Amino acid sequence: MLSVNLTSHPSVFAYTSLLSSRSSFLTAAQFPSSLPHMHHLLALLLLVVAVCKLTALMVERREKLRNLEAFPGPPAHWLFGHVQEFKQDGTELDKVVKWGKQYPFAFQLWFGPFVSFLNIHHPDYVKTLLSTTEPKDDFGYRFFTPWIGDGLLVSSGQKWFRNRRLLTPGFHYDILKPYVKLMSDSAKTMLDKWESYAQTSESFELFEHVSLMTLDSIMKCAFSLNSAFNVRLSSHFSGTNAYIKAVYDLSFLINLRVRVAPYHNNIIFHLSPHGFRFRKAVKVAHHHTEEVIRKRREELKKETELDRIQAKRNLDFLDILLCATVGYTILSDEDIRAEVDTFMFEGHDTTASGISFILYCLACNPEHQQMCRDEIMHALEGKDTIEWEDLSKIPYTTMCIKESLRLYPPVPGIARKITKPLTFFDGRTAAAGHCCKCVYLEIWVFDPLRFLPENVSSRSPHAFVPFSAGPRNCIGQTFAMNEMKVVIALTLRRYQLIEDPNRKPKIVPRLVLRSLNGIHIKIKPVDQQP
């Protein structure tokens, strides 16, 4: 589904200084008597500003209602809109699916009296939108910018075109091949920690383990650093892992800010304890990244050719950024930091969500799990690790991964703000200024055969876009798919995954898809299957 956000976010600040006197100076006796008049004038001025602002919002609301007449939706409360329908209890996506069946192709949703979205849920609508280069919406993504800056995720226009072209070589398969071993090492470290769970019949929560593992993998691939698994799997982080803790805090705090409406206001969030914690974490993250960039620049002064660097060690993402040029363009330190921080967030949190739900799906579908395991054992031929060449030898496992991504997309919405009217195949038009967001209608049956080549060719390619599509698709999608394959293969080689029927996940769409009560499974060593 796609949703179009018609909101704007103006802020009005007024400061008025009034000095009036028949003479050039106010005497000490005159000044106090003038204060009540100044207060009255200031109050009147603020009232006028408030009335003007409210009038502008009402005019904007009428314009939005007129533009959305062609896209009916569920009845909305005049003040709260549909906010009360989203109770953060794990039923939000079910309601969106229900509405999607009731209103073909697209429908409107309101969050309060002035913020609206157009939710689109038809492949041809998705194709129309994602074939453009329209920028990301300015409602939710603005919360990222203090951390990741104007990186590839949120930038637009010529800067986005330039950086996309600069960064594309960093995801060539020659660069990605050595990453498979690094991903494998991180996965095996996590699986070693699971030994204690394998000896019990108790379930455990997946997401925190997987999140730290994907952080460790990104640290190795992006920075050539090994540190994440010095962190204990709890809320307590050692002082030497300040950067890991900062990334973990930032992901949590951005999620929190999206959920808590008053925190959408910059001033309220800035003055809050969470805002202070956010700024502190941003400072730590930026300091760490800047220090890594500085040290790597010094190292690269000695070896200016990428092939000479590669002869000494594997190239990482930072090498590519520092050496990337288009014509005479070289990225500034600020641009490099923004792209590294962007890759750090997108490459760990989204992948952690995807892997966690894939493992959960396989636990709930033991027959498909066993078929994947048999395929993996045959592909690895007795090896305890997986290599680049093995990734193409597990097609059924790949289909199961895609089916899980269909049921539980790590990013359940793809948002765009259109800058010019967009007409869809049925003749309806979304006006300029809308923010468009893709959300998907899931069929709740786990069937990997949907992704057999003959079945894929019979449906629209825009019916399944977990990494978006078009010119603004996910630049790191091959990296993410490789990591998912590596982790799933090594996990199934070692453990049997068992569903905990008493702890079903309560799904909530936040920055990435999450579960309110965690994602729990049980495991047993493969050679001890019941």
Residue type at 328? Y
Nearest to 374 by CA among 499, 489, 529, 481: 489
First and final C-alpha spacing in the chain: 42
Task: Confirm if 6 and 67 have CB atoms less than 8 A apart.
Answer: yes
Cα–Cα distance, 118 to 438 (Å, whole number): 10
Between β-strands 204-205 and 520-525, what pairing exists: parallel, antiparallel or unpaired? antiparallel
Task: Confirm if 233 and 212 have CB atoms less than 8 A apart.
Answer: yes
Sheet holding 495-499, edge to edge: 204-205, 520-525, 495-499
Task: Confirm if 101 and 460 have CB atoms less than 8 A apart.
Answer: no
Nearest to 164 by CA among 322, 317, 326: 326
Cα–Cα distance, 476 to 1 (Å, whole number): 22
SS3 per residue for 154-179:
CCCHHHHHHHHHHHHHHHCHHHHCCH
Task: Confirm if 121 and 462 have CB atoms less than 8 A apart.
Answer: no
Nearest to 120 by CA among 259, 267, 202, 4: 4
Cα–Cα distance, 72 to 64 (Å, whole number): 12
Provide the greatest CA pair distance for the chain: 97
CB 512: neighbour CB atoms within 10 A? 20
Task: Confirm if 428 and 88 have CB atoms less than 8 A apart.
Answer: no
SS3 per residue for 258-271:
HHCHHHHCHHHHHH
**438 annotated binding-site participant:** no
Please report, in range form, the residues annotated as the binding site: 474
Please report, in range form, the residues annotated as the binding site for heme: 474
